[in-house]
Amino acid sequence: MISIDSLSFDVSSLTRHKRILSDITLNVREGECFGLVGESGSGKTSILKCLAGQFKGWKGRIEVKGASIADTSLKERSNTMQMVFQDPYGALHPRHTIRKILNEPLVIKGLSNRAERVEKALKDVGLDETFLPRYPHQLSGGQRQRVAIARAMILNPSVILLDEPTSALDVSVQAEILNLLASLHRRHQLTYLMVSHDLGVIAHLCERVAVMKAGEIVEVVSREDLVEGNVTHPYTKGLLQHAFSRE
């Protein structure tokens, strides 16, 4: 579904030259939930930003559903791929009502039956239509993240990019959102590419995980291997040991 082939990305300014991603190759199968785990600065979010078209000037080849990203516009990709962001406060426009936030993608696409679709999308994420006239600041963090997920789902995409979707939330709310993401994954046969720094969260949701360090993928492991400790790279071992010691 997503195939990334030798992706590299450099940032250079007048004074210095920095390699953000180097030679990333990975394949996400259809219907899979794939995780990217690593510490800050490891480049995990940068991969999402390349996919989402926020970074320009990367080298290599990225394909989503068989179409190269370099050859298609964001608008063409919007039916295939959507994104959920880390910060539920910044992801929703503060001066748009929930109705407008969910309506926008439908208006842009010129779709009909908007009111019904909006209500259905809200119901899908466990909110009812009383939320429609409200503004984001009147919602709790978890409710906001639900709206953000509804917005990503409303165009029925097949791929969803998840950028630390629960790290800004309280643990009890995190559990609700993780459950919601898992149930949407089952019901709609979605493909997830999820970024997180939390191995527990990644292992809960994802079947395979790529461990990243300093802009490179050091290892791709399955959930079973991760849980049983069958990892080879010392960096992964360290991360895993740390995660186990916390439980």
Partner 1 sequence: MKNIQTLKNAPFPARERHAPGQSKGALFFKALKKLCKNPLSASGVVIVGLLLVLTIAAPMIATHDPLTQDLSRVLSAPSWAHWFGTDEYGRDIFSRVVYGSRVTLYIIFLVTIIVGPIGLMIGTMSGYFGGWVDSTFMRITDIFISFPSLVLALAFVAALGPGLEHAVIAIALTAWPPVARLARAETLTFRNADYVVAAQLQGASSFRILFHYISVMCLPSLIVRLTMNMATVILTAAALGFLGLGAQPPLPEWGAMISTGRSYMLESWWLVAFPGAAIMLVSLAFNLLGDGLRDLLDPRTD
Partner 2 sequence: MNVLSVERLNVTFCTDEGDKHAVRDVSFTLNNEKLAIVGESGSGKSTVGKAILRLNSPSTRVTADTLRFKETDILTCSEREIRALRGQHISMIMQDPKFSLNPVVTVGDQIAEALRVHRRISKRQAREAAIAMLQEVSIADPEHVYGQYPHEISGGMGQRVMIAMMVIPEPDIIIADEPTSALDVSVQQDVLNILNRLIEKKNISLIFISHDLNLVKKFCDRVLVMYGGRVVESIRADELSNASHPYTRGLMESLPSLRHRRETLPVMTRDPAWLTQEPLT
Distances (CA, A) of 126 to 123, 146, 150: 5, 8, 10
Looking at 1, 47, 91, 199, which residue binds partner 1 (CB under 8 A)? 91
Cα separation, 166 vs 176, in Å, equals 10
Span near partner 2 by CB under 8 A; candidates 8-16, 116-124, 130-138, 238-246: 238-246
Question: Which of 128, 129, 34, 141 lies closest to 92 in space, CA to CA?
Answer: 141
Q: Please, what is the angle between helix 114-124 and helix 141-153, to 10°?
A: 130
Question: Which of 87, 88, 84, 67 lies closest to 76 in space, CA to CA?
Answer: 67
Q: Please, what is the angle between helix 141-153 and helix 171-188, to 10°?
A: 20
Looking at 174, 192, 206, 211, which residue binds partner 2 (CB under 8 A)? 174
Q: Measured from the CB of residue 203, what is the shortest distance to partner 2 in angstroms?
A: 5
Site string for partner 1, 172-191 (x = CB under 8 A): ----x--xx-----------
Q: Does 116 bind partner 2 (CB under 8 A)?
A: no
DSSP assignment string, 42-62 = SSHHHHHHHHTT-S-S-EEEE
Q: Which residues contact 29 (CB under 8 A, 6 or more apart)?
A: 1, 191
Span near partner 1 by CB under 8 A; candidates 24-32, 33-41, 149-157, 213-221: 149-157
Task: Specify the residue, 168 or 226, whose C-beta has the smaller distance to partner 1.
Answer: 168
Looking at 13, 15, 40, 73, which residue binds partner 2 (CB under 8 A)? 40
Site string for partner 1, 31-70 (x = CB under 8 A): ---------------------xxx----------------
Looking at 36, 195, 217, 226, which residue binds partner 2 (CB under 8 A)? 226
Q: Measured from the CB of residue 23, what is the shortest distance to partner 2 in angstroms?
A: 23
Q: Does 179 bind partner 2 (CB under 8 A)?
A: yes
Looking at 11, 29, 30, 90, which residue binds partner 1 (CB under 8 A)? 90
Query: By rule CB under 8 A, what count of residues binds partner 1?
Result: 45
Q: Does 204 bind partner 2 (CB under 8 A)?
A: yes
Q: Does 208 bind partner 2 (CB under 8 A)?
A: no
Q: Does 87 bind partner 1 (CB under 8 A)?
A: yes
Q: Could you tell me the strand order of the sheet in which 208-213 lies?
A: 81-84, 159-163, 191-196, 33-37, 208-213, 216-222
Q: Please, what is the angle between helix 141-153 and helix 98-109, to 10°?
A: 10
